[in-house]
Structure 1
């Protein structure tokens, strides 16, 4: 019989189920009190000895809408499965000669690094992290302050740093090199490397599951929060349930911006009355306003859009391009480009009139990679192939976070674009205090730009686009 291990450190299953339901509610799944009672009653009848039957009972009573199914499947293992992936005792797979050789190599490598030596020995023995170690790393990473699942990746990276796994990986490579020099066969080295890598992966998964379970428990313990206005939700925190509503918000926002742009164009047909200029030009008539003067007319902007399509920026790029192309009647010309590690012209794709299909096609043809953003190389391609799209009337907008994975930012090309264009603006989702941290070149781009507009929400995006449109 399969029994469900207690992971959330609650003494009874009923408390754990209540926490599971509260976590689902915090994640946006609508569950009534009656449905919660139905789930409890169903589990009392079915029991918990068979995990599959237990899971199906909870799903059938708690999930009403198909779109909530992924959320249920995401949270279920965080409450009702064990958090220690199986690790293999590598020492048991080695011969006596290989064990002795390995022990000598480990002693030679680690020296006085006792903590790293202990972690390496722990991994070789297939032990994984203890509960005490996970708790300590969680405290050092500030995990107790987390209250939402979108923070999971950030806390995982923090705990990986606290665990010293990066240095352990380097030590493993040095250990294998030393064993090769000591005469261990290539076949044995490959087997050892594979077992070590699998144990490393298991320990990383252990950290990931611990973070997920802790965040889920903390979500269950907090009071339900009122749902915020979608206009003010950071775009990188939206989930799939918000997307349809968000598209409606974009259309409504575009309609408001069109009305504002149309009013500006109407006023610009004759220009705004300029009293100072009128009085100055009529001094020869003794101050009698014989000739009325007007301010310069508003001009439609000509735009070049350069968008970072890396994983973290994709939702914002879709909303931004949709918003701009909803305003095409008030724009003289728009050329659109996306980049990950190279610049791609998507202008033709976006002029078909079917924006959702066009964006889906662009996303499929330009899949995200793993830490491969290279704006510098993309700017080089732009200079060689697309610089002619910019003239003295063009406003260039770069939508991105300025993170370049330590590649050459090509500030020289960025400066050339700024000089050739009428204006160059950045729409950046990161706050200024993060500029220049780690692989960010945003602080260097900002020095050359005509302005950097903080864009994290749809409301921010609307204000930023309206500013550009109003200045022509």
Structure 2
């Protein structure tokens, strides 16, 4: 069970849930204390220790049954209540069907469905390795059911019904058989869907950091679906977390600074240098950031992610000022300094309407230099996000060079 919990945690991380090593160990201890015999208590112990954000509940609820579920409802056997003569007639009728349909109806009538290994093989044949989300998983499930013969099942059941009547099976026995087959049809479809979902979850867990290997890295931002965009937002959040950790580590290492010989001598005069206390010069890093972001029609999808990244990281520098432009420059620092990231970005994009063929970088830079040049000095890094499309207006390269010299 410990290995399964570890796999589950990997699956959650792959879905964008941030889980630390300490939280993973808390989950293990909770399970050891509360046990696994009562499923609801087991589920609650994992959810309480692993989930911190309300936005992550959906991922937990989606993945928990895939890792700890029963694999779908079991199939029933129609043979148990059939006489030996009826069973023989059924086998003769099934043998007259084609290989694929014979196999499917044999599964549905006997209650002995495909093994886990057979389901895994059929899922691979249906292309499960190319699926990355539930929507694509439903497509793989439909392909698997088609491979099994579900598309022709109703027609074949009618033929089986008529064949058994001709062979002399009682109407009651036939009706009972058909009822079990229909119930097993739904149960097998659920088992297939569960298997596909589990394989997709395990695949994602095996490549949690492989964003470069996914289709997202090869799609234009403008063509992302809402589900793709949500996945990319989670990647941005994870990137922010990594950058924050690295920045904190760099500051911690930099706190010692360079050895201060004069300060060391002065500090140790009072005790004659025994014991000696070393002093270091602390170097104060005060980086400053200025973001200038094109939010025209052609840049909207890209700008959203840049603004979101800026919102999350602006507290890591001494000073951050943000500007957005289409036909003219607007400061958006106040908007990005409050409320939630999603709300702040939405407000910025709403307050500055895109327009058509309205982008004017030169005019925007002119406004920036007139009103906001005080935001740029020797400690300032300027980041300009744009696509170079300026609708034949002057880009004011001279102003760009002035900013480059000043920053």
TM-score by length of 2: 0.53
* Structure 2 spans left out of the alignment, 5+ residues: 235-339, 360-407
| 8 Å contact from structure 2 (residues 12, 63) kept in 1 | yes
How big is the shift at 1:236?
4.8
Deviates more, 1:197-206 or 1:96-105: 96-105
Which whole-Å CA distance do the structure 2 matches of 1:53 and 1:166 have between them?
Answer: 41
1:54 match: 42
2:120 match: 135
Higher helix share: 2
Q: Of 355, 371, 378, which aligns to 1:260? A: 355
| 8 Å contact from structure 2 (residues 27, 50) kept in 1 | yes
The 5 A counterparts of 1:246-325 are 252-256=348-352, 258-260=353-355
| 1:42 and 2:30 are equivalent in the alignment | yes
Post-superposition Cα deviations, 1:198-219, rounded to whole Å, max 9, x if no partner, equal 1111211111111111111111
State which structure, 1 or 2, has the greater radius of gyration over its C-alpha atoms: 2
The 5 A counterparts of 1:317-466 are none
CA gap 1:64/1:215 in 2 versus in 1, 3 angstroms: same
1:170 match: 155
Which whole-Å CA distance do the structure 1 matches of 2:110 and 2:8 have between them?
Answer: 34
Which whole-Å CA distance do the structure 1 matches of 2:58 and 2:345 have between them?
Answer: 24
Q: Of 225, 229, 232, which aligns to 1:234? A: 225
How big is the shift at 1:141?
1.8
| 1:14 and 2:5 are equivalent in the alignment | no
| 1:25 and 2:22 are equivalent in the alignment | no
The 5 A counterparts of 1:116-155 are 116-155=101-140
1:221 match: 206
TM-score by length of 1: 0.46
1:67 match: 55
| 8 Å contact from structure 2 (residues 76, 110) kept in 1 | yes
User: RMSD of aligned C-alpha atoms?
Assistant: 3.5
| 1:81 and 2:69 are equivalent in the alignment | yes
How big is the shift at 1:126?
0.5
Which whole-Å CA distance do the structure 1 matches of 2:135 and 2:20 have between them?
Answer: 25
1:105 match: 93
| 8 Å contact from structure 2 (residues 144, 192) kept in 1 | yes
How big is the shift at 1:170?
2.7
How big is the shift at 1:62?
1.0
How big is the shift at 1:186?
4.5
Which whole-Å CA distance do the structure 2 matches of 1:89 and 1:205 have between them?
Answer: 17
2:368 match: none
Q: State the secondary structure of the residue aligned to 1:157.
A: helix
How big is the shift at 1:249?
5.4
Q: State the secondary structure of the residue aligned to 1:91.
A: coil
How big is the shift at 1:127?
0.5
How many aligned residue pairs are there?
A: 249
CA gap 1:151/1:199 in 2 versus in 1, 3 angstroms: same
CA gap 1:214/1:249 in 2 versus in 1, 3 angstroms: same
* Structure 1 spans left out of the alignment, 5+ residues: 1-12, 265-472
